[in-house]
């Protein structure tokens, strides 16, 4: 079933938020889409009617399997177009997001596949984010634990090994989102706690229990 531009943007936002937060609330979606919680509630009802999400106020929004497929399809197109813009049209990696936001909504059965082939089936977009496969799987390229990163090295958050509320809540509080850049300043031999900066922010200390649950892409 074809989706509107707006529906696609909600699905994408919910997908990304669900990787970051324990609960995807109307408020969080409204912040992400820079619109109003009231508007979000309306749309959540519509998406639920279309069986693309489930929503209740206690658990927040979750993508159904068809919703997740749709979200991954949009993300795939977004990232493929970003590769095109940078590799072929010589845009800077920082200029392409807004254009890809528009291009991702172009509908055509063959387009993503043809673009993918033309670009040489890239694994990641210009920001290093993995490109979902055509059958709706998000590859996980991050296989290194943050706890295994050496002092003086930097890395990017790839995915997480725990989706419990307290863990994700703490991640959020630290500003440790998917793709966040971590620089390892110090490691304590005694308890393996780590002093890091996140996106060049202020220094923070995190426990081994945390660093052993965060998968990163070194470099």
Interface residues with a second copy (CB under 8 A)? 88-91, 95, 98-99, 102-103, 105-108, 110-111, 114-115, 118
Choose the one of a second copy, DNA, none that binds residue 39, judging by a C-beta under 5 to 8 angstroms depending on kind.
DNA
Choose the one of a second copy, DNA, none that binds residue 41, judging by a C-beta under 5 to 8 angstroms depending on kind.
DNA
The C-alpha torsion from 131 through 135 and 54 to 97, rounded to 10°, is: 20
As measured in angstroms, the least distance from the Cβ of 52 to a second copy is 22
Q: Which of 188, 187, 191, 190 has the alpha carbon at shortest distance from 209?
A: 191
Contacts to DNA from residues 17-46, by CB under 7 A:
25-28, 33-39, 41-44, 46
Residue 75 in tokens? 């993300």
Length of the chain: 219
Choose the one of DNA, a second copy, none that binds residue 26, judging by a C-beta under 5 to 8 angstroms depending on kind.
DNA
Choose the one of a second copy, DNA, none that binds residue 99, judging by a C-beta under 5 to 8 angstroms depending on kind.
a second copy
Q: Which residue's CB is nearer to DNA, number 23 or number 204?
A: 23
Choose the one of a second copy, DNA, none that binds residue 114, judging by a C-beta under 5 to 8 angstroms depending on kind.
a second copy
Choose the one of DNA, a second copy, none that binds residue 91, judging by a C-beta under 5 to 8 angstroms depending on kind.
a second copy
58 binding DNA? (CB under 7 A): yes
Q: What burial class does residue 102 get, using C-beta atoms within 10 Å of its C-beta: 0-12 exposed, 13-18 middle, 19+ buried? A: exposed
Which residue reads 């500003």 in tokens?
175
Contact 174, 206 (CB under 8 A): yes
Q: Which residue's CB is nearer to a second copy, number 21 or number 95?
A: 95
As measured in angstroms, the least distance from the Cβ of 164 to DNA is 16
Taking only Cα atoms into account, the Rg of the chain, rounded to an integer number of angstroms, comes to 18
Q: Is 136 helix (H, G, I), strand (E, B) or coil?
A: coil
Say how far apart CA 29 and CA 56 lie, in whole Å.
Answer: 14
Distances (CA, A) of 2 to 81, 85, 147: 20, 26, 44
Say how far apart CA 172 and CA 174 lie, in whole Å.
Answer: 5
Q: Which residue's CB is nearer to a second copy, number 68 or number 125?
A: 125
As measured in angstroms, the least distance from the Cβ of 178 to DNA is 21
Binding region for DNA (CB under 7 A): 4-7, 9, 25-28, 33-39, 41-44, 46, 56-58, 60
């Amino acid at each position: 079933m074809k989706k509107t531009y707006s529906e696609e943007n909600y699905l994408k936002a919910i997908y990304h938020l669900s990787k970051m937060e324990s609960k995807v609330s109307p408020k969080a979606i409204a912040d992400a889409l820079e619109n109003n919680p009231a508007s979000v509630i309306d749309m959540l009802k519509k998406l639920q009617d279309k069986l693309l999400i489930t929503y209740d106020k206690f658990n927040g929004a979750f993508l159904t399997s068809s919703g997740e497929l749709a979200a991954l399809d949009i993300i795939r197109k977004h990232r493929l177009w970003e590769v095109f813009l940078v590799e072929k049209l010589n845009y800077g990696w920082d200029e392409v997001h807004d254009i890809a936001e528009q291009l991702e909504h172009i509908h055509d059965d063959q387009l993503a596949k043809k673009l993918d082939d033309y670009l040489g089936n890239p694994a990641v977009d210009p920001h290093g984010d993995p490109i979902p496969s055509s059958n709706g799987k998000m590859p996980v390229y991050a296989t290194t634990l943050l706890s295994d990163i050496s002092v003086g090295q930097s890395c990017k958050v790839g995915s997480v090994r725990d989706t419990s509320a307290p863990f994700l809540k703490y991640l959020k509080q630290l500003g440790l989102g998917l793709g966040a850049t971590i620089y390892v300043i110090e490691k304590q031999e005694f308890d393996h706690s780590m002093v890091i900066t996140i996106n060049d922010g202020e220094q923070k200390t995190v426990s081994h229990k945390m660093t052993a649950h965060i998968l990163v892409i070194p470099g």
